[in-house]
Chain A
Amino acid sequence: MRPTRNHAAWWAFIVHRVSGVALAVFLPVHFWALGTALRGEGALGEFLRWSEQPMVIAAEWALIVLLAAHLAGGLRILALEFLPWRDWQKTLAAGAAAFAIVAGLVFALAR
């Protein structure tokens, strides 16, 4: 780990960027899946039955965590850029990570 990268803000950045790319790649797939409903409820139902397998459920969980992480990281950036400057941004980064973990847990329990 390069010494210029081993701090909270850098981790917040890389998580935000990687999760953003993952979500951007996922979105067209998500839209296509929902689009199966154009062929009727049966078509969507068929897709949902297919998605009940463990690998897909795990992937769903990962996407939820990535979405929550991207949201929290984004709120951190909005706070840094628009709110009066305070020196506790490290807390914001930690808070963002905590939120993502909580979201993942809640989803895992509900599923």
Chain B
Amino acid sequence: MNARREVVLWIAQRATAAILALCVIVHLATIVYAVRGGLSAAEILGRTRGNFWWAGFYCVFVLAAAVHGAVGLRAIAAEWLGLRGALAEWAMTIVGVVLVITGLRAVVAVVGA
């Protein structure tokens, strides 16, 4: 793990943090709005189905969250579980990939017709 790679991981974490800040504010506002009067599948899907903007927004959200979460968990695994080296790098990559795949599947689920 060379110095340059570690700096790039840090930059990725902070950059996705900034992106997520915007996404989360939108998401929190959406949640509060959507939750009034109870949650219904019809109301949620009525908003998202076939909507290009929501699709784009949630794709960005998923990708940023996957990178941010994977890099963050890597640090925690190293410091609190003593997990370091090649194994840790693979674990971080797998976490990121799993989040991307399950996340994009969820986006397709709510946006697809």
Contact = CB atoms under 8 A, between A and B. Distances in A.
Interface of A: 17, 20-21, 23-24, 27-28, 30-32, 34-38, 41-42, 44-45, 47-48, 51-52, 64, 67-68, 71, 74-75, 77-78, 81-82, 103, 106-107, 110-111
Interface string B78-107: 000000000000000001001100110110
A23 B76 CA distance: 14
By Cβ-Cβ distance, the 4 closest A-B pairs, closest first, are A45-B41, A34-B106, A44-B41, A31-B102
Given A24-B95, A48-B40, A74-B20, 11 more contacts: A21-B76, A23-B69, A24-B69, A31-B102, A31-B103, A37-B109, A44-B41, A47-B41, A48-B41, A78-B14, A78-B18
Given A21-B76, A31-B103, A51 B39 contact: yes
Contacts of B17: 74, 77-78
A16 B38 CA distance: 30
| B interface majority secondary structure | helix
What class of interface size applies to chain B in its complex with A? 35 or more
Nearest to A103: B28
Counting chain B CB atoms within 10 Å of each CB, which of A31, A42, A68, A74 scores highest?
Answer: A31
Contacts of A77: 17
B21 interface: yes
B45 interface: yes
Contacts of B72: 20, 24
